[in-house]
Chains A and B, each alone.
Chain A
Amino acid sequence: MTAAGSPALSTAARPVRGGRRLPLSSIGVVPFFVYIAVFLLLPTAIILGGSLVAPDGSISFANFAGIAKPYMAKSFANSIAISAVSAVVGAFAGALLAYAVVTGKPNGVLRRSVTSASGVVAQFGGVTLAFAFVATLGTTGFVYEFLLQRGIDIYTNGIWLYDLSGLTLIYLYFQIPLMVLVFLPALDGIRPQWREATESLGGGTWHYWRYVAGPLLFPSFLGCTLLLFANSFSAYATAAALITQGGVIVPLQIQALLTSETGSSQPGFAKALALAMIVIVLVVMVLYTLLQRRTAHWLR
């Protein structure tokens, strides 16, 4: 009787108490939530809702069917391929650089310079980055001309700088430093005692990497690779500045839809693409967080 009665009592009482207190103490966060509602939640809602509005105005999943069309599926495949390759290569190169840094003096000049520079370069992207590579490897670029004068033509099979392989190479420019930043703490968590313990227990370098350092670092490495994937999957400006024609990757398809006539005739399609991107990045980021959490105990 009482057991059944008391919850009802408390729920009945709460609105009165809470109703008085809630506005008072939550008034401080109202501006923030209003701002977020208008400029973050509303756009997200527009994407969500708009993606369900078919060109004829009806509510349907027609827009998502468009993703399956060959040219669009190809863009998704390209986006995923370029992100995967630049993430994996960037992760390995960044991990090597991070390892080279971490084996130096803990507070040395080298370490400070590399981490500072990584923080800067990881932010570097867009138009400027595209120009930098055009000035380096473009057909009038410094390095291209330098190599050509020595009889090496890097474009014997066509000018790849402006297609997917070029874009992948350019993405490495921000992927590697990002990897350094996110992977360095994991490497720092590796204690020299573990290597020495391995040795005193009869293990060599191979055993150390195979049974100790490898398993310890792998989840973190994988998580960082996922983060890099999300990073290049979301990238748009570099590709936009480099590739002026065609929707090679999904962001460029979105751009085309936003700026062209065909796009304005089917506004829901761009939203469906945006939603697909958000879902992919969201899944990847959740996996990243889970992997990071897994190693949190180990690498403190």
Chain B
Amino acid sequence: MNRSRRRRLQIFRIVVFVVLGAFFLGPIGAMFEFSTRGNSVNAPRTLSAWTAIGTTPGLGDAIIASLELAAITSVVMLVLVLPTMVWVRLRLPGLSRVIEFICLMPLTVPAIALVVGMRPIYIWISINVTDSILALAVAYVILVLPYSYRALDAGLAALDLKTLTEAARSLGAGWGTIMWRVVVPNMPSAILNASLLSVALVLGEYTFANLLNYENLQVAIAYVGLTSAGTSVAVAVASLVFAFALLLILSFVGRPPVPVSKADEADLQTGRMVSLSGGLIGRTGR
């Protein structure tokens, strides 16, 4: 590449990074600024909006409910999906396309549309089974399905599942033992990926909760926002930071350190994974 072109390219890159950097960092900075404002225009900075989080009625319950939902969703998702995927790979390979299709289906059904079909089911559940908010978890499993499927699929693809199970069975292991002692320990990062994605999605979920009349974290934030903007923004910042932390962990767990010689290949693979998951990312929280 000749030098003048390289210089032009450098200028282009700097402009892009500065402009888009401002666009992306600005609103987050503004939220911090907003949440530390005093009551009047010239009042000094204060953390009162932050300290009010603990005393705002309903907020604490909603936070706990959302965390519980996140945990339950992750567990149910893993218990439901992982054994099925393993079983299909080993015993019913013909079904694998069907499973993939089903798992990716929620992507073509917008959450706002799916909730319309869910509503009668949830009305029935709240009358006949339970009116606990934790019932939301079963619907959330559907929402996180495409993301967890991709994460687990990538993990399983990296395993020679057939050889591993044949070896385990030849040593006398049953199916339960194989799942628990062979499959799970061999794909910790994929399982962590799938779980963290689920947690992040559940913590940011608003559509289902709001329209099925449950008060989870996001609904509570919106509700608090009507009366106390400062506090709701403070909670929003806190939940955002929490979700960012989770997803950042995920993005590093997703790329284990690789030897230099394999770097190119690995980069290609993560590129593919990103492209796959990218195709799925970002349809739930909003």
A-side residues, CB < 8 A to B, are: 25-26, 28-29, 31-32, 35-36, 38-40, 42-47, 50, 93, 96-97, 99-100, 103-104, 106-107, 115-117, 119-129, 131-133, 135-136, 140-143, 172-174, 176-178, 181-182, 184-185, 188, 205, 227, 230-231, 233-238, 240-241, 251, 254-255, 258-259, 270-271, 273-275, 277-278, 281-282, 285, 288, 292
Contacts and interface: CB of A to CB of B under 8 A. Distances in A.
Name the residue among A125, A236, A254, A288 with the largest chain B CB count within 10 angstroms.
Answer: A236
21 contacts: A35-B141, A39-B141, A42-B121, A43-B116, A46-B120, A106-B264, A115-B251, A128-B237, A129-B27, A135-B30, A142-B29, A182-B275, A188-B268, A235-B283, A241-B222, A254-B113, A258-B119, A259-B211, A278-B109, A278-B110, A278-B113
Contacts of B240: 124, 128
Contact of A120 (B105, B113, B247): B247
B95 A29 contact: yes
A75 B239 CA distance: 32
A123 B116 contact: no
A127 B222 contact: yes
B194 interface: no
A281 B109 CA distance: 7
Given A47-B117, A120-B251, A123-B282, A135 B233 contact: yes
Name the residue among A42, A44, A104, A258 with the largest chain B CB count within 10 angstroms.
Answer: A258
Question: When A and B form their complex, which 3 residue pairs have the shortest distance between CB atoms, in order from nearest?
Answer: A43-B117, A125-B286, A181-B278
Given A42-B121, A127-B206, A254-B113, A143 B30 contact: yes
B113 A275 contact: yes
A29 B30 contact: no
A123 B20 contact: no
A146 B279 CA distance: 37
Interface of B: 5, 9, 12-13, 16-17, 20, 23-24, 26-31, 33-35, 80-81, 83-84, 87-88, 91-92, 95, 99, 102, 105-121, 138-139, 141-142, 145, 200-201, 204-207, 210-211, 218, 221-222, 225, 232-233, 236-237, 239-240, 243-244, 247-248, 250-252, 263-264, 267-268, 271-272, 274-275, 277-279, 281-283, 285-286
Nearest to A135: B34
A28 B286 contact: no
Given A123-B247, A274-B112, 17 more contacts: A28-B92, A31-B84, A35-B141, A39-B141, A42-B121, A93-B20, A126-B204, A128-B221, A133-B27, A135-B30, A136-B26, A178-B281, A185-B274, A255-B211, A273-B116, A278-B113, A288-B279
Contacts of A271: 116-117
A181 B33 CA distance: 29
Contacts of B145: 40
Nearest to A239: B286
Contacts of A117: 24
A116 B251 contact: yes
Contacts of B106: 40
Contacts of B12: 100
Contacts of B237: 128
A136 B30 contact: yes
A117 to B, nearest CB: 8
A42 B106 CA distance: 13
Contact of B239 (A128, A177, A233): A128
B253 to A, nearest CB: 11
A184 B33 contact: no
